[in-house]
Amino acid sequence: MLPPELSDLVAVPGITDCFISGTRPVVLDRGAGLEEVYNPFRTDAQLRDALVALAFNAGVRLDIAHPMADVVLGDKRLHMVLPYGVSARPELSIRVHRDSPPSYANSELLDQLEQLVGERKTLLVAGPTGAGKTTLARQLLSPLSERIITIEQTPELRLGGRAVQLFSREPNQEGKGGVTLARLVTEALRMRPDRLVIGEVRSEEFGAFLQAVTSGHPGAVTTLHSHSFSALARRLEILGLLSNLEPKLTARLVVDCVDAIAQLGWRNGQRAILGIATPRLKGSQLILEPLA
């Protein structure tokens, strides 16, 4: 449970993100850019103690040996940092996932994405931080009554119905017991999924995602960070390299596996689906051909 100081902040209508850096003004995002508001924490020590208490109550370790931690409380994801050699002051970043569907500057593209998902097309949702990638994925998947297996670092998709949630796990102090997203993809294939969903691909799990689709699991969905379509092809190549795939093989797998890529961003200060593209090969080079 959040302390009153934080409860009041995340109760602001329309809030999606809240950032607290020591005693500096709190920064909020309500969908129209960042804005500063009053900080209820008057000292760094007060904020530090609140973060330690939050972690303790959630059963998560946060101390000088482990100065960073993630906690999920309902529809809120908290990332906490203590100033023990890794930052100048205590830091708290809160992401608020709303159940109500977001509004987009060009909602006609949303209808096209819903049709693609309904047709079991494999979809990548790309965009910068805060553009609403996870929110859009949840909106597209929530109406489905399938056995969806979601694979995430922290529980953010929160699909109901027959959905099954799997989470990666950090290794213990001895470096043992860790469970990666890539391994969870392999395990999920043994659980007879109707559809696989990876919350976000950052590394080797991208290769596992592509191989899962090629093994007969169409309709998969994942998200990734990308600021624009122009940077997206290179971003996919980098993810391939992190998965130990050569660029030519990555290009071929992406073209064979991925039906559409939606790029999110902002337009006139409002979240927007900037476009939808399909991957193609030009020689051996990966290119993106606009669908909309």
Of all residues in the chain, what percent carry a pLDDT higher than 90? 61
| Range of lowest pLDDT (6-15, 67-76, 103-112, 244-253) | 103-112
Averaged pLDDT of the chain? 89
Q: What is residue 55's predicted lDDT score, i.e. its pLDDT?
A: 92
| Residue 207 neighbours by CB distance under 10 Å | 22
Q: What is residue 103's predicted lDDT score, i.e. its pLDDT?
A: 61
For residue 161, pLDDT over 90 is answered with no
**What does the pLDDT average to over 21-28?**
94
Q: What is residue 104's predicted lDDT score, i.e. its pLDDT?
A: 62
Q: What is residue 102's predicted lDDT score, i.e. its pLDDT?
A: 59
Of all residues in the chain, what percent carry a pLDDT higher than 70? 96
Q: What is residue 16's predicted lDDT score, i.e. its pLDDT?
A: 86
Q: What is residue 164's predicted lDDT score, i.e. its pLDDT?
A: 94
For residue 2, pLDDT over 60 is answered with yes
Fold of 108-290: Rossmann fold (3.40.50)
**What does the pLDDT average to over 106-122?**
90
For residue 33, pLDDT over 80 is answered with no
Cite the residue boundaries of each domain of the chain with CATH code 3.30.450.90: 4-96
Q: What is residue 266's predicted lDDT score, i.e. its pLDDT?
A: 83
For residue 204, pLDDT over 60 is answered with yes
**What does the pLDDT average to over 140-158?**
91
Long-range contacts of 58-61 (CB under 8 A, 24+ apart): none
Q: Do the beta carbons of residue 148 and residue 164 sit within 8 Å?
A: yes
Q: What is residue 155's predicted lDDT score, i.e. its pLDDT?
A: 82
**What does the pLDDT average to over 216-227?**
93
> What is the side-by-side strand order in the sheet with 195-198?
164-167, 148-152, 195-198, 221-225, 123-127, 260-267, 270-282, 285-290
For residue 258, what are its two tokens?
A: 């991925």
pLDDT tens digit string along 117-138? Answer: 999 999 999 999 878 898 899 9
pLDDT tens digit string along 89-104? Answer: 999 999 887 666 556 6
For residue 34, pLDDT over 60 is answered with yes
Q: What is residue 129's predicted lDDT score, i.e. its pLDDT?
A: 85
Q: What is residue 169's predicted lDDT score, i.e. its pLDDT?
A: 84
For residue 282, pLDDT over 70 is answered with yes
**What does the pLDDT average to over 217-224?**
94
**What does the pLDDT average to over 284-292?**
87
Pairwise CA distance, residues 160 & 123, whole Å:
20
Q: Do the beta carbons of residue 252 and residue 279 sit within 8 Å?
A: no
Q: Do the beta carbons of residue 90 and residue 83 sit within 8 Å?
A: yes
Top CATH class, 4-96: alpha beta
β partners of residue 261: 124, 277
107 vs 35, more confident: 35
For residue 265, pLDDT over 60 is answered with yes
Cite the residue boundaries of each domain of the chain with CATH code 3.40.50.300: 108-290
Q: What is residue 106's predicted lDDT score, i.e. its pLDDT?
A: 63
**What does the pLDDT average to over 200-220?**
91
